[in-house]
Structure 1
Amino acid sequence: MALMQQAGFNLRALSIAPAGQRNLFIPRIATRYASTFRHRVSRALVPTSKQKFVHVAGQEMVPSQQLLLRAGMMRQSSSGIYTILPYGQRVLDKIEAIIDDELENIGCQKLSMPNMLTSDNWRITGRWETTGQEMFKLKDRKGADFLLAPTHEEEVTALIAKEVQSYRQLPIRVYQVGRKFRDELRARSGLLRGKEFLMKDLYTFDVSEEEAMKTYDEVLLAYRRIMERLGVPYAVAEADTGNIGGTHSHEFHILSRVGEDSVLSCASCGYTSNEERAIGIIPTEPTKAATKFRNSAQLPKWIESLDVVPRSAVRINPKIQFGILKKYTTDEIQPESCTLVAVATSGDRDVNGIKVSKAIGKMELVETLEELKALLGESKVDDMMLCIDQSLYPGQVPLRPKNVEISGSVPDEISAIARSENMSKSFKVVYGDYHNCKSGDGCPHCLVTKGSMEPMGMTRAIEIGHTFMLGTKYSQPLNALFMPATNQDPEPMQMGCYGLGITRLLASIIEASHDRKGIIWPTSIAPYRVVIVTSEDEGCTTAAEEVYDMVHKALDTRSSDVIIDDRAETTLGFKMKDAELIGYPWMVVVGKGFLRTGLVEVQQRETGEKWSLEWPSIYSFFQERGL
């Protein structure tokens, strides 16, 4: 009755109504009021499971995949495609709310772009042909080409090109949270590598490189604030621009042993870079792995006879990889030119294909000359190039390129794939950084600033965000131009692109924060911050609802972040194990002991700490902690 009075119901009117009407009217009010006032597990779709999910399609599941299934937060629809259930969606909504808050604070506006895009703009930028088989392509009934969007650079640039003409309309910062599609060859690891995923992408437009760089720095700071509010360990690494393009790039990683990326960082100065881009100072003393490595001996004799490796590296046996650098002529009738490229590193170093491609041209690398034939196809080799990595002359200054000549005849393996029997014996040797760095390499920043060899450490990590300074890569071809203040000719806008994988972030947080019992959610994004679990005793269930109300009031949030596990068919112990699996940050236990002692137990999921409290003090307990 007291609850009904608080809700503003006219009890006198109910009391004087005919008996039949009272019986029909009161239950409807009570049902509606109870269903909206308290969140209840008994009415939630949260199909938890004690089953140990280990393998799917022959692949071992990563922890986040197992736990999202067991905690009833997602279900697989097909390979690489998942349905997110209500608890998982609550987490995604909270992540998105944090992102919205921080991006709005730096002047970003939210919009929504289509998922099915026309091919027209993608053909203009050239990415219709270069993106590869990961792109989902389709045709409409008229035969027009479309794609399911893997990203939206072309779409947003074409939009802004139509709507912005003057410098007075800039800067513009627009973003969306939407679905992306990529046809992964081997979709695996649940939400970490799927075919359909949720992503936040922000696009910025400025009048100059200087202003675009200020925007870039502002967004980086906003990203850092987002990661700090999420409450998980992260790293920001210098990165390669890849297929997106641009001049400046950073990756945001969550540190995890199941990560596919490797991040190198210096504890002394904070320099951090991903493995593909990292520049490290190689120790001058060769490692045991380098001196004991034995190559397949396809080219080492060449290297020794040509005298292209410094004498200090005489104890290091090189490792070789091969590639084909193709150059196409404007006249399609003329045959293409192909250069055989051999990349030599020390035996303990892996060739970094990105560094090689940036230095001499894009190519694919293989281990043997036999594999090289598949890259050549019907083409033949016209000349050769040898790339000598710094790992073969550690501690020495970079050497200048030079031309060398093979003594004697061209080896049979090379002449067999040459276009001409009289292929020149002279070829170019270039020296540079073509290797992946590794733990123990010296920090380049410390060498310059301190003159000291500070070793870098390597950590496995999951990439969850990527920022790019695009410049005019998209605005120029798509005519996103503006009239500058000087009233000269129109200029292309300076663009930036900033992605953040939302579903990938969800899984990555679990990878970084779980134990054998289940998920350990950071308080800021937990599906519910507090769960009230109770035994089936009527006195306990009544007290649990009073506790619910006190906790809800103490949290002081607009939408309730408290839920009561009132399931009648399960035991108290089962509910507590479910609570640990789901990962509620706080659990309040109203057990049978409450009827004897008047005490309830509060447990913190992250630390395992427990408190026994008289139930009226629950309010002050949670209020003091400012949850």
Structure 2
Amino acid sequence: MIRSFIASRAGIANSSAVVVKQQQQQGINMVLTNYCSYSTSTTTSTSQSPQQRNDYPFPVEEEGKTGAKKIVHRLLRSKLFIPVVRDQPMDKEMSQSQLLMQKTGMIRRASLGMYMTLPLAQRAMENLIKIIDEEMQGVGGQKLTMPLLVSKDLWEKTGRWETTGAELIKVKDRKEEEYCLAPTHEEIFTSLVANERLSNSNFPLRLYQIGNKYRDEIRPRFGLVRGREFLMKDLYSFDQTRVEAVATYNDIKGAYHRVFDRVGLKYACVEADSGNIGGSMSHEFQVLTGSGEDTVVSCECCGYQSNIERATSKPSPSTKFSPADKIKKIAIKVVSDKMVKGAKEKTTTIATIWCSDIDTINPFSIKSYFNNIDSFEPFRFNQAAQQQDPSYTYIDFIDSTIKDNDHVLLQLKQHQKEQQQQQQKEEEKEEDTTSNNASVEYGSFRVVKEGDHCAQPNCSNGGELKLQQGIEVGHIFYLGTKYSSKLGANMKDKNGKNQPIEMGCYGIGVSRLLAAMIESKRDDRGIVWSKCVAPYKAIIIPFSDQRNRGSYESAEHLYDLLIRDPFLRNQIVLENRLDMSIGKRINEANLIGFPYLIFVNNNASKKNGEDVFEVEDRDNGQKSYFTAFELYHFFRYQFEQK
């Protein structure tokens, strides 16, 4: 099978490629000849020059096109800054990914919610960024860099300076000018487009960056999963029409699927709440793990998937509701857009949500009843007497499970009576008000729980819903004109009139994605990397010690052969710590998660006089046996495909 595999790699498309291949093969054959001569030699020099010592990063010389020699240093394990801590304790605020990243020397805590990214994690992060760049640029994304400090003026124009809350980190300069450390960049991207003279031919426009973001998390935890500083890819799209904006949304959504498919994750794309960013359509990409902070609801019958905040359901048939059951309620103050005489105006609504005492109220479930929400915050009932405003709208959202509940009917009647009395007082004062009568909406306003059934119209079987834990690694939003209308980002319509640009924003938490991969792809030995993201692709482990160096010298020659190919260079590590037992070296390699472990043993079998090396696939534990020639082509094929 190996021979047929190698032969399949020999096909060349044209004559020029054949010439190049022959030139490359001549060099490879020369190295192989030298290697084979070495491997069949039974004599080993007892005197060691500095270059022969296992702790010396011996350079490999290459002849360049100009005749100059290029020095390629070996990647020796003893020279790599990978501060492994094997006895790292686990505490209650630590996830498995955080534990493994600290054990393997990938991160170190700088302060609460702030982490140093060490070389091993940095290499993996750069591999992730390469994949993200390829997919974003594949859908027309253009990469740029924005400042981390963003002016207060921009955030005030969109109303987010005050509504974002304590998570927004605000700072002042020496002139008392205020800025924020941006958690997102909607304002400044929109401002950029607004201030440039763009023609309609410039659209659709898709701009993105990958950089640090900041959020003053009230409870940072789980390492890179929830920190105060994090690496993020954020793309912003600008389109002329809603139809084109939705097409862009679907294009980039497809690119997200390709990113997460390429890194080999088990994930779900679910309907989601837009949160403070806003917008009328939103999806999250959740990596499904056993310890995530989010809950994903899914139906195996119809394929429905949603974040629990947006999910709706039917109660289990075994759950019985009585008109005498206890109920509970909460109130939410919502500031949103409302059409008044053909124009948009801001309106404030006091929304009261009711459900059974045995259920949990889901405040996010009412957001779909409002347009362009600016503020969404709790409202205390004991404030009603002092803060009632005749311009407020009052809506009661009653979960369908309690629509016939005696307590609900009684309280609604009392609520309507209070509203009528308030209106009479205003009429007696002869004040001109825009008071609205209270209205009632029935629907699903409770949190989905285990045993509930699917409520989707296309689910004929009403399948039982499944709840899984997930880590949010991507979030996409259709923003409409929420930001463009406030920041003056306009384009000319066919009648020559200015119209606000349709926008979308699309985020991937790069550092969180790295942690989520480790959280979901690990075993009892350590990390199991996807090969396209792994910091290094392989490690060569000789069965040598300080007294018997024979297999180490074989490992050196094998290493020098493999790195002759550009695809393999800087991807393979040579284990040179001969003072460490072979068992510890193997255990550490499995802990770090090298995708391939290459074992060099002078007592191993030979094929046609050539050494045979054992190669273990870290992902599935499969062991294969290759000569140097076969191993060279096997790895070259593997890396060319990634």
TM-score range, shorter chain: 0.7 to 0.9
Match of 2:259 in 1: 226
Query: Is residue 531–residue 584 contact of structure 1 (8 Å, CA) maintained in 2?
Result: yes
> C-alpha deviations, 1:29-48, integer Å up to 9, x for none?
99554773432212110001
Give the alignment partner of residue 446 of structure 2, picking from 435, 439, 444.
435
Q: 1:358-377, aligned counterparts within 5 Å?
A: 359=369, 364=377
- The equivalent of 2:330 in structure 1 is 322
Selected match of 1:270 from 284, 300, 303: 303
2:618 to 583, 600, 605: 605
Q: Does 1:518 align with 2:529?
A: no
Deviations 1:213-264 (Å, cap 9, x if unpaired)? 1111100110000000010101000111111011111000100111111111
Cα pair 2:167 2:216 within 8 Å, conserved: yes
Pick aligned residue for 1:576 from 586, 599, 606: 586
Distance 1:235 1:498 in 2: 16
Equivalence for 1:488: 496
CA deviation digits over 1:301-325, x for unaligned, max 9?
A: xxxxxxxxxxxx3267344133364
Cα deviation, residue 103, structure 1: 1.0
Residue in 2 aligned with 1:49? Answer: 85
CA contact (8 A) 1:539 1:595 kept: no
Corresponding residue for residue 240 of structure 1 = 273
The alpha carbon displacement at 1:84 in A equals 0.4
In structure 1, C-alpha distance between the alignment counterparts of 2:51 and 2:551, rounded to whole Å: 29
TM-score with structure 2 setting the length:
0.77
Describe the shift of the 1:403–1:538 C-alpha distance in structure 2 as closer, same or farther (beyond 3 A).
closer
Q: Is the 8 A contact 1:181 1:196 kept in 2?
A: yes
Q: Which residue number in structure 1 is paired with residue 429 of structure 2?
A: none
Runs of at least 5 residues in structure 2 that lack an aligned partner in the other structure? 1-26, 32-48, 62-70, 337-346, 419-424, 427-436
What is the Cα deviation at residue 613 of structure 1?
A: 4.4
Counterpart of 2:482 in structure 1 is: 473
Aligned equivalent of 1:566, options 573, 576, 579: 576
The residue that corresponds to 2:557 in the other structure is 546
Taking structure 1 as reference, are residues 154 and 342 closer, same or farther at Cα in structure 2, changes over 3 Å only? closer
- Structure 1 segment 374-453 matched on structure 2, within 5 A: 379=387, 387-392=397-402, 404-406=412-414, 430-445=441-456, 448-449=457-458, 451-453=460-462
Q: What letter corresponds to residue 571 of structure 1 in structure 2?
A: S
**TM-score between the two structures when normalised by the length of structure 1:** 0.78
Matched, 1:172 2:181: no
Once structures 1 and 2 are overlaid, which stretch shifts more, 540-549 or 187-196?
A: 540-549
Q: Equivalences for 1:39-118 in 2 at 5 Å?
A: 39-55=75-91, 59-118=92-151
Change (3 A) 1:526 1:232: same
Structure 1 residues 138-172: Cα deviation after superposition (integer angstroms, max 9, x where no partner): 11100101111111000111011112432122111
Q: Gaps spanning 5+ residues in structure 1: where?
A: 7-22, 292-312, 329-336, 411-418, 421-425
Structure 1 residues 390 and 25, CA, compared in 2 at 3 Å: closer, same or farther? closer
Contact 1:403 1:428 in 2 (8 A): no
What do the CA deviations read for 1:242-298 (whole angstroms, capped 9, x no partner)? 110111110001001111111111223322111011122334x342xxx5xxxxxxx
- Residues 199, 107 of structure 1: alpha-carbon distance in 2 compared, 3 angstrom cutoff: same
Aligned mates of 1:579, 1:152 — CA distance in 2: 40
Matched with 1:38 is 74
Identify if the C-alpha distance between structure 1 residues 273 and 613 changes in structure 2 by more than 3 Å, giving closer, same or farther.
Answer: same
- Distance in 2 (CA, whole Å) between partners of 1:109 and 1:359 is 36
Separation (CA, whole Å) in 1 of partners of 2:198 and 2:72: 50
Alpha carbons 1:401, 1:428 under 8 Å: kept: no
> 45-54 or 128-137, which moves further after superposition?
45-54
Sort the Cα spacing of 1:378 and 1:564 in 2 relative to 1 into closer, same or farther, 3 A.
farther
The one of 223, 232, 248 equivalent to 1:215 is 248
Partner of 1:351: 361
Secondary structure, in 3 states, of the residue corresponding to 2:518?
A: helix
Amino acid at match of 1:204: S
Given the alignment, which residue of 151, 165, 171 partners 1:138? 171
Distance of aligned partners of 1:278 and 1:341 in 2 relative to their CA distance in 1, 3 Å threshold: closer
Native 8 Å contact 1:237 1:274 kept in 2: yes
Gap change, CA 1:561 and 1:381, over 3 Å in 2: same
What percentage of residue pairs aligned between the two structures are identical? 35
8 Å Cα contact 2:365-2:444 kept in structure 1: yes
Question: Is the 8 Å Cα contact of residues 80 and 195 (structure 1) preserved in structure 2?
Answer: yes
- Is 2:302 aligned against 1:252? no
2-side partners of 1:158 and 1:470: how far apart? 15
Could you say if the C-alpha distance between residues 340 and 167 of structure 1 is closer, same or farther in structure 2, counting changes exceeding 3 Å? closer
What is the number of equivalent residue pairs in this alignment?
Answer: 545
| Alignment deviations for residues 407-460 of structure 1 (CA, whole Å, 9 cap, x no partner) | 9x99xxxxxxxx99xxxxx97654222111234433344xx3363322221111
CA distance in 1, matches of 2:51, 2:581: 34
